[in-house]
Amino acid sequence: MGIHDIIPEYEVLRDPQRCTVCRLCERECANGVHSFNPKTGKMQSDNTKCVDCRRCVVFCPAHALKIVRNEESYRTNAQWDRQTVNEIFKQAETGGMLLSSMGNPKPYPIYWDKMLLNASQVTNPSIDPLREPMETRTFLGKKPHELRRDEKGRLRTDNLPPQLDLDVPILFSAMSYGAISYNAHKSLARAATALGTYYNTGEGGLHEDFYKYGPHTIVQVASGRFGVYKRYLEAGAAIEIKIGQGAKPGIGGHLPGSKIVGDISRTRMIPEGCDAISPAPHHDIYSIEDLRQLVYSLKEATDYKKPIIVKIAAVHNVAAIASGIARSGADIIAVDGFRGGTGAAPTRIRDNVGIPIELAIAAVDDRLRQEKIRDRVSLIAGGSIRNSADVVKAIALGADAVYIGTAALIALGCHLCRACQTGRCNWGIATQRPDLVKRLDPDVGTKSLINLVSAWKHEIMEMMGGMGINSIEALRGNRLMLRGIGLNDRELKVLGIKHAGE
Amino acid sequence: MRDRSNGLGGGFAAYGIYPKQKDLYALHVFYGSRRAKDECERIIHASFDISVAERIPTRRVPGITDAPAVWRYFGLPFPKLLEAADIDEREFVVRFVMKVNTEVQGAYVFSSGKNMGVFKAVGFPEEVGRFYRLEDYEGYCWTAHGRYPTNTPGWWGGAHPFALLNYSVVHNGEISSYDANRRFIEMHGYRCTLLTDTEVIAYIIDYLNRRRGLSLKETADVVAAPFWKEIAAMPKEKRGYYTYLRNVFSSLLITGPFSILVGFAGGMMALNDRLKLRSMVVGEKGDTVYVASEECAVRTVEPDLDRLWSPRGGEPVIITLDKGVKV
Amino acid sequence: MVRIDAKGKNFQQLNEEIRVAENSDITVEHCMGQRYIGAGMSGKHLLLLGVPGNALGCYLDGGSIRVLGNAQDQTGDTMNSGAIIVEGSSGDATGYSMRGGKIFVRDNAGYRVGIHMKAYREQQPLIIVGGETGSFLGEYQAGGTIIVLGLNSEGRTPVGNLSCTGMHGGRMILRCRRLPKDLPPQVSAASASKEDMARISGFLNDFCGAFGISIQSVLSEPFFVITPNTKNPYRALYTEN
C-alpha cells in the first residue's frame, strides 16, 4: 500500500467478554476477515477486508461482534471526503476503472419521498379493503385497435394480442444467473408462480431446472444473446429485449471467464472459462427501425404468441425513445431509473449517468398520451422501488406495474454491502461458490419473497381504499392523487402534479 | 329534493323540444363577455350555416344572479368543410365544441345536439327551471339535477347536465378515477374544460358509443364493470366478454360513487356504480318511466305507480321510446 | 289518536309538530320525503301514510313507527330501541349501526342492510326482511340478528353479493335452499338446529303477526344460520414497526 493509504471503511469490534472463540465467524466470512491466532488463542480481524455484510454479526452465537463505521479519517473536507481520496489512491495504485455493485448510493433527491397521496373524505367514501372488493389484477400488453363482432353482433374477444396477467402490479426485475445464484433464481421463480406474477431471467439464460416455471418467466434477450435459442424463447411468458439498465446506461457487461463454469457455462451456452461479454449496443440495433426488426424477428420466431418487452435505462431523452419503441411493435416498455441495481458496473457510470425513474415515468407517460399512443404499450417502472408507497406513486404517475430487484434481494437476505462484484456474497445470493450458494435455502427464500409481495399488496389495497379506488386501473396515470411537497415549479411540471395545498 | 343540493348548480336536459328545427344542431352557449361572444360567433358562422341565432328566453328569478349571456344557434355544418376534413358532421361538431371551450376565453358551448337542449345555471333546480321558462317547452324525455359541488366552486359551466351531441349526463357522486379517465380520453381529442368530474363521463359515453360503436349496455359494462370475483363465477363466454372489456378499456372504468342518468336521442339510461354507493329508484306508470334519487321525488310527480324498484349496482336500466324498459 | 297533515311542510316543521304533540298515538298523513321523522323519539307510536324520507327513525329510542308503504334510505340509522314496521320495502343502509329494537320490512330492502349492527348487554337488535335484500347484507355485523326470508323468491337465495363481509359478531339467518356462494372465510354457515328454530320461530311469530302472514308458509322452507368463527380475524395481517 505505502503512500496510497486506503483507510478501511469498517471496524470489527469483538467483545472479549462474550467471544467464546467458537470460530464460527471465521467459517462464515468468505472475505477472510476473521481468523484464529493460535499463538494468542484468540480471534483476530482484518478490517481492510470487511465489507459490512453483517453475516458474522448475525450468526455469532454469543452476540460478540459489532461492525461500525471506521471513524478514522483525513482532515475534514467537504470537497475531498474520505471516499473521494480513497478512490484516487486506488486508481493511482492499480490504473483501473472503479467497479461497484448495486444501485447509486449518492444523496440525489428521492422524488418518491416528495410526493404525497390523497385520501377520500366526505365527498367520496374511502373503501375498506378487508371487507369490500379491492382489485390489483392488471394486464400488460398491447390493446387491440379495432373491435370486431360476430354474425350475431356479439363482440369478438379473439383479437387480443398476447398479454401478461398479473395478480399484483409487481414483477421481479432482471437479475442474471451468473450475477445471482441458482438458489436465488429458484426462490424468485417459485415466488413469482405462487404470487401470480413474473420473474426475469436477466441475460444469463434460463437454467434447465427452471423451464417448468416458464409460464411465470420473462426471458431476456440481451446484447450478448447468451442462452438465446428457440426453446428458450418459447419457454417464457414474454420476451424482454434489454437495451439498457438504470445502473449502467450505455455500456455493456462483463462476467469474467473464471465464473463461467458448470451450470453457468451450460445455461449461457458458452464454453467454460470463456469471458461473457455483453456488448454495449445490440449489434443489430443501431437505429430505431432496427429495433422494429428485432422485435418482429422475435415475434416471428415465436408465432406472435409472446408479448415483447423492451427495457431501457432512463436517460435524458427517454420520452422520445419510448415513443419510438411504442411504434416499433413492442408490447411493453420497461424503464429502469438511475437507482437501479447491478452485479457490477463502473462506479462513475453508476453514480452519474441516467435520471430518476419518477421523472422518467412521468415524462414517458405524458409523451405517449400527447402522441395518442399510450394504449399501444404498457409501462413497467423500475430502479429501486423500495416499498408499497413507491409502487402506488409509480402507478399514479402512469406506470402499469413496477419491477423490483434490490428489494427482492433484501428479502432474500441481502444486506446491501455492495460487494457483489467480488463474488463472495456471504448470504449466498450474488455468488456462484457452492459453499456460499447453499447458505440460501430456497424454501426460506421463496417464502420471504411471497411474504414481501403479499404484504405490499395488502398495503397497496389499503392506500387505494383510502383514495376511494377499488380497482388498480383507476389509479393508473391518476396524477390528481399525488401532490408534491418541497418541489420547485419545474419539478412539479415534469411530474405533472400539483403542490400540496393546491 | 332541495335537501340534497346546496344551490350551487341546477340544470335540465330536454329531448324533443325543438320539433320545428329537429334536423338542425341546437347550440347553447354561455358568454362571459362581449369579446367572447364576438370571437365565438365568428367561429360559429364560419363553421355552420345558421338559420336562427337568439338569446334563450329567460325571466328574472331571485336566486339566479350574475347570469352570463345565454344564446342559442340552429344550423348545420357547411358541407364543404365536412368534405375538406373528411369527417362526418357529428365529429365536426365535437371538434368545434372542444375548440371553442378551450380556445375562446369566456365562451362555453354547453349543449350541441339535435332536437334537444340543456338548460343550466348556478341556483337551485326549481329556480333554474323558472329562469329558463321551461314551461314553454314540450319533450319526451327530461332529466334534472341539483348540484352540491365536491371539488370545484359552483359556476354556470360546472352545473349538470354535461352534454355533447345528443348525449347528456347528470351525476350524483364523485369519480375517484377522474384523472385516469381524463388523461385517457384526452388522447382522443376531448378536452375537459368545465372543472367538474362529471364532464368526463359525457365524453367517455360519446367515445364508446359513437366512436367505438359499443351499445349502451356494452358501454355500461365498461364503465361499471363487475368485480373479478364475480367474473370468475360466470360461464365461459360471459367471462371472456367481461375480461376482454376490462382489459381493453381499463382506463375507462369509473370508480367512486355514482348514480348517472344519460339522456340520448330516443331514450335514457340510468346506471349506478358497481357498489351502489348512491341511491336510485325507478318508477313505472303506463308508458312513462321515472328515475330519481328518492322515491318521494317520483311520487310527487306521479303518486300512483304501477311498479317501483331499485336497480342493482352496475346494471344499466335503458329506457327507450317504443320499446319500454330494458334491464 | 291525533292526526297530523304533513302536506307542504318541511322536515323541521313536521318533526317539531310530532315532538310537541301531547298524544302518544299519532297518524301522519301525506308524508312526501320529509326526513328524520321520529329522530331520537321514544314513548310515541307513529303511523305514517305516504312516503317518509331518509333517516326515518334515526336514533330511535323507544316507541314505534309503522309505515303504510315504502321507506327510503337509512331507515333506523343508529337506532337504540323501539320498533319500525314497514308495510312495503325499505332502501339502502336500513338499520345502519343499529343497537337495539327491531325493524320489520315486509317486502324488499336495499344494499347494506344491517351494516355495522351491534348488540350491547340486554340490547339485542333485530332486523327481519320478508323479501330480498341487495348486496353487502350485514357488512361488519358485530351483534344482533338479521333474518331474510325471501317469501316470494321460491327458494332462490334472497340476498345479493358479498353478504357478511367483515362479520365479527351476532348471527344472520337466511331462509333459502342454497347458501350464497361468496360468504367470506371468516364466517361459518350451518343448517338451523332445533334450538335455532325455536328461537327463530319466536321472532317469526312477531313478524308474521305484524303483517298478517301465515307462519306455516314461512316455516315451509329450510333455514341456515351464519355466525362469525373468530372475534379477531385480521390479527395476522399486521407486523410491528
A181-197 confidence digits (pLDDT tens):
999 999 999 999 999 99
C180 CB within 8 Å of a chain B CB: no
Residues of chain A with Cβ-Cβ distance to B276 below 8 Å are none
- List of residues 6+ apart from A134 with CB closer than 8 A: A127, A461, A464, A465, A470
CATH number at residue A70: 3.30.70.20
Q: Determine, yes or no, domain membership for A132.
A: no
The total of structural domains in chain A comes to: 2
CB contact under 8 A, B294 and C92: no
The whole-chain average pLDDT of chain A stands at 94
What pLDDT does A418 receive? 95
More confident call, C94 vs A260: C94
In this prediction, residue B46 has a pLDDT band, given cuts at 50, 70 and 90, of: very high
What pLDDT does A122 receive? 83
Q: Determine, yes or no, domain membership for A466.
A: yes
Q: Which residues of C touch A (CB under 8 A)?
A: 136, 139-140, 162, 165-166, 234, 237, 239
* CB atoms inside a 10 Å sphere around CB A43: 22
The whole-chain average pLDDT of chain C stands at 94
* Whole-number Å distance between alpha carbons of C26 and C7: 15
Give CA A294 to chain center in angstroms: 24
Grid coordinates standing for B175? 369519480
B7-20 confidence digits (pLDDT tens):
889 999 999 999 99
* Whole-number Å distance between alpha carbons of A226 and A207: 12
* Whole-number Å distance between alpha carbons of B48 and A446: 67
> Which of B229, B276, B294 lies at the smallest CB-CB distance from C33?
B294
Q: How far is CA B127 from CA A238, A429, B1, in A?
A: 60, 72, 13
A250-264, A411-425, B179-193, B223-237, range with the lowest pLDDT = A250-264
CATH number at residue A434: 3.20.20.70
- Pair A65, A190 in one domain: no
The continuous run of DSSP H or E covering C201 comes out as: helix C194-211
Q: Is the pLDDT of residue A112 over 80?
A: yes
Query: The pTM is what?
Result: 0.92
The parent domain of residue B140 ranges over: 2-326
SS (H, E, C) chain B: CHHHCCCCCEEEEEECCCHHHCCCEEEEEEECCHHHHHHHHHHHHHHEEEEEEEECCCCCCCCCCCCCEEEEEEEEECHHHHHHHCCCHHHHHHHHHHHHHHHCCCEEEEEEEECEEEEEECCCHHHHHHHCCHHHCCCCEEEEEECCCCCCCCCHHHCCCEEECCEEEEEEECCCCHHHHHHHHHHHCCCCCCCCCHHHHHHHHHHHHHHCCCCHHHHHHHHCCCCHHHHHCCCHHHHHHHHHHHHHCHHHCCCCCEEEEEEECCEEEEEECCCCCCCCEEEEECCEEEEECCHHHHHHHCCCCCEEECCCCCCCEEEECCCEEEC
What pLDDT does A253 receive? 81
- Pair A50, A186 in one domain: no
Superfamily for the C89-229 domain = Glutamate synthase, alpha subunit, C-terminal domain (2.160.20.60)
Kindly report the length of chain B.
Answer: 327
Residues of chain C with Cβ-Cβ distance to A131 below 8 Å are 139-140, 165-166
Q: How far is CA A119 from CA A125, A480, B244, C135, in A?
A: 9, 11, 30, 25
CATH number at residue B49: 3.60.20.10
* Whole-number Å distance between alpha carbons of A184 and A436: 12
What pLDDT does B130 receive? 97
* Whole-number Å distance between alpha carbons of C140 and C151: 25
Give the mean pLDDT of A66-88. 93
Give the mean pLDDT of C22-35. 96
A225 CB within 8 Å of a chain B CB: no
A341-400 confidence digits (pLDDT tens):
999 899 999 999 999 999 999 999 999 999 999 999 999 999 999 999 999 999 999 999
DSSP conformational letter for C60: -
Q: Determine, yes or no, domain membership for A128.
A: no
In this prediction, residue C232 has a pLDDT band, given cuts at 50, 70 and 90, of: low
Q: Is the pLDDT of residue C161 over 50?
A: yes
Angle at A345 between CA A342 and CA A205, to 5 degrees: 50
Q: Is the pLDDT of residue C234 over 80?
A: no
- Pair A264, A342 in one domain: yes
* Whole-number Å distance between alpha carbons of B131 and B151: 26
Give all strands of the β-sheet with B288-292 in edge-to-edge order.
Answer: B288-292, B281-285, B307-309
Q: Is the pLDDT of residue B150 over 50?
A: yes
What pLDDT does B127 receive? 95
Share above pLDDT 70 across residues of chain A, in percent, rounded to a whole number: 100
> Which of C139, C237, C239 lies at the smallest CB-CB distance from A131?
C139
Grid coordinates standing for A344? 457490477
Q: Is the pLDDT of residue B302 over 60?
A: yes
> Which of B279, B300, B312 lies at the smallest CB-CB distance from C160?
B312
* Whole-number Å distance between alpha carbons of B164 and B48: 17
Residue of B265, B260, B27 whose CA lies nearest to B139: B265
- Pair A362, A481 in one domain: yes
Grid coordinates standing for A488? 420547485
Q: Is the pLDDT of residue A78 over 50?
A: yes
DSSP conformational letter for A144: P
In this prediction, residue C231 has a pLDDT band, given cuts at 50, 70 and 90, of: low
* Whole-number Å distance between alpha carbons of A462 and A391: 13
The total of structural domains in chain B comes to: 1
Give the mean pLDDT of A141-149. 93
A130 CB within 8 Å of a chain C CB: yes
Q: Is the pLDDT of residue A19 over 70?
A: yes
Angle at C181 between CA C179 and CA C186, to 5 degrees: 90
Q: Determine, yes or no, domain membership for A350.
A: yes
Give the mean pLDDT of C207-211. 97
- Pair A191, A289 in one domain: yes
What pLDDT does B327 receive? 37
Q: Is the pLDDT of residue A316 over 60?
A: yes
3-state secondary structure of A389: helix
B295 CB within 8 Å of a chain C CB: yes
* Whole-number Å distance between alpha carbons of B129 and B137: 11
A59-68, B137-146, B172-181, B317-326, range with the lowest pLDDT = B317-326
> For chain C, how long is the longest CA-to-CA vector?
63
Residue of A172, A292, A298 whose CA lies nearest to A225: A298
CB contact under 8 A, B276 and C35: no
Amino acid in the structure at residue B166? N
Residue of A392, A398, A270, A416 whose CA lies nearest to A339: A416
* Whole-number Å distance between alpha carbons of B55 and B28: 9
In this prediction, residue C55 has a pLDDT band, given cuts at 50, 70 and 90, of: very high
The parent domain of residue A328 ranges over: 138-142+165-499
